Every structure is written in C-alpha cells, then in structure tokens.
A and B are shown apart, each in its own frame.
Chain A
Amino acid sequence: MNVGNWRVDLEPRLTSPKWLYAAVPIGSLFCAFIVGGVFLAFTGHSPIGTFALLIDRGFTSTRGITNTLGTATPLICTGLAAAFAFRMNLFNIGEEGQMYLGMIGSAWAGIALAGYLPGFAAVPVVLLTGACTGALWVLVPAVLRAKMGTSEIVSTLLLNYVALNLVNYFIFGSRGFFRDPTTSFPQGRVIEASARLSSFGSTRTYPTVIIAVGLAVGLYWFMKRSNYGYETSVLADSPNTARYAGMNATKLTLSVLLFSGALAGLAGAMYVVGPAGKVDPGLLQVGFGYAGIVVAALARYNFMAVVLTAILFAGLREGGASLQISTNPVPISIAVVLQGAVLLFALGGEVFRRNRLRVRRVQQTVGA
C-alpha cells in the first residue's frame, strides 16, 4: 500500500516475541473500549462515566465481581470443553447441547439418586452424572469421527437442536419426570436439598467456581506433563507421525471428544447444583455453550487463559446488564457491542502478532 512517498507493508514475522502474546489482547481490549466509547458518545451517554459504571458493576464492586464469578463458572467449563477438543483439531461445537444434557442428567440424579446417598456424596454424584450425560451426547459423533472420519462439526451442531427440543419437551411439552407436579406453571422439579450447594454468603458465587478453576489448572498441568497429553499433541500435529509412533488414533480421538462433552455436561450440572436446582429452560437463553467456543478461541485454547477470558466475558455481560438500571439507562446492547468489538479486535490483533508493520520511504529504483 502506498501513501504518498511512503510505503506501508505487512511482513510475516519469523518469530513472535513473547511480550506480544500479552500486548495484543490488552491492545485489543483497549481498542474495543474506544470503539464502544464512540458508540456511547453518539447515543448521548458519557463514555467515561458509563465505562466506570460498567467496570464497577462487572468487576470492582463486591456485588459485581461475585455476580461475575457466578456467571463465569459454567462458562469456564464450556470454554475448557471447547479448548480441549479444538486444540486437538476436533471441532466439537456441540457444547451447548452437551451442557443441556448435563443439566438433564444431573437433575435426574439429584431427584432420583440423591435421596439414597450419604450427604457428602450427593453433590459429587450429581456432578459426575451430568458430566457423563454430556459425554454420552457426543458419543455418536465421536464414534463416527474416530472410526469413519465423519466431520464432527455438523453432527455435534445438529445435536444441539435435538438437545434444545428435549429440554423444552421435558418442561413444556409433557408432564413427565422432570416437571414439577405441584405447580400449574410449567417448571422443573427441584432436586433433593442434599444435592444442592449454597452460595458464598449472600452472593451469587457458588463453590463450583473452585472446581472450575481447579479443573483448568489440573488440565493445564496434566496435558503438559502426562503421556496422554503428549500423545494427543502428536496426533493433533501430525496424524502420520502418530501412526508411525504406533499410537492408537481412534482411541485418542474418541477419548478427547468424550472428555470435551463431559466438561460441557459439567457446566450444566454446576448450574443445577448451584443457582437452578432443577431443569431450568432459562439456561437455553444464555448461550454458555456457544460463548464457550468464543472464550476458548480468544484464549488460544490455553486452559489458564480460558479462566481469565471467561471472567472477562462474564463481567462484561453482568456489568452491561446492570447499566440498564442506572440513572441514565444504557441499553443492554452496549455490552453486546463491546463483546463484539473485543472479539473483532482480538482476531484483528492476530494479524499484528503474526506480521510486522513496516513503513518505508519509497525510493526511485533504477530497474523497476
């Protein structure tokens, strides 16, 4: 591109310096806020004031940060689910559906099993059941992919719609097991009290957040150190090399997809043992599954970064939502605009991580 006497080029970087990995996301965030600020100014709001409020209600006030952590909890799980599969080049985009199934499975365990279990075992069993049903929901796509190479993208996506209809059917379409028989308004049957966790104090943060963060740390460490992590990284990098080394690609593929489904299922189960306590169609509105994919992508499939990104996302959402009830109400769409801007700038920032911007004076060359 030529600008007057200057020539502007993007040149591929041979190596990306380490600081860029941190600078690019921070720069993206900054740019996103500038775009959001312009948007706010045009709609007659004070950018600085609004952002200060947003940050306060999303991150810095006690109320804000605890709300945010509560929202981030399932988002961390779906983010981990996506990151775990995507880094293996297995594009499980069915976290949404697997999460619904996790909700259904854990609610079943909470209703049918929890009463027979000793108190300390109820919550773990309910969570595990949710993880298992999430994994079960990805079983067919996983087998098709591992054995026959059928694209998991389409099959996992389609199952999201099946799962969505399944939840709607259980609550609105039938008077079955999951429906609360005592109310005429359709809603889920509440699980046993022993299978529920109470939040910290009067906040909306549940102890499950510790599990979610622990999972991220554990996965990070396990995949770095273990033979399983090693073999999956070889297979992801080069299937021929995995075959040469005698690795069992079918088993590895299957296990990765199933575990990814289990993590997404766990997100649904955490929702059940925490705030919901039942099969709650409210979960269908939030889109934690799809948001998890975005979180994973922004975190570049790094498990630790998933935690931070999920908290950032949850905070923007919480803060954005509470702006509606301020003195000069700002529509929720501002939070949506911000999220979109963060996303766009983060993706755009990648260009600068991979390439170097070079500006040169154009010289009159003899030959050209």
Chain B
Amino acid sequence: MFRSLRTDNPELVRVSVNGHAVEIASGQSVWSALALSGQTTTRKAALSGEDRSAYCAMGVCFECMVEIDGIPNQQACLRRVADGMTIATQTITETSVAK
C-alpha cells in the first residue's frame, strides 16, 4: 500500500482517475495520483493484455504509460497533475497504436 508522508497543507487539485474523483497535492506526479488512490494499473501489456504498473518511476521503462486528457502514451511518472486532468489506464496497447 502506498501512502503519503506529507504533513504540510499542500494546495490540492482535483483530477479524475478512471472516472473517480481524486484530490491530490498540486505538483505531484500523475503516478502518485494513481498510486495514492489505489489504482495502480497504468497500462495493459502489448501482447497478453496483462496489467502493468509503474516500475522505475524515473522515465526509463515506459511501463507507466497512461492516457492523460485523452492522449495516450503519457509517462505518468514524468507528468505532474493539473487541476481538472483526466487520467485513465491505457487499454490500447502500443502495438495497436502503431497500426
């Protein structure tokens, strides 16, 4: 289980994660919005369609690709949340995007 250690009173923004409203400290990564709301599946694997989730958290592995405001292939660990952002698990695989 992921949790936040923050004790300051950060300014919150509202985002939607797979249709659920989530409040999250402004400036945090999109991945943290997923993880702290318990929705850790970021994308489906290319062939098997199995669930995948963030692995490196530093932009290397591309496991954390999600759809942000309708645009696929966004690395959740590198992007920051913004008020009103729509975040969704990427169900199209990168092979189907290529086609």
Is the pairing of A and B real?
Answer: no
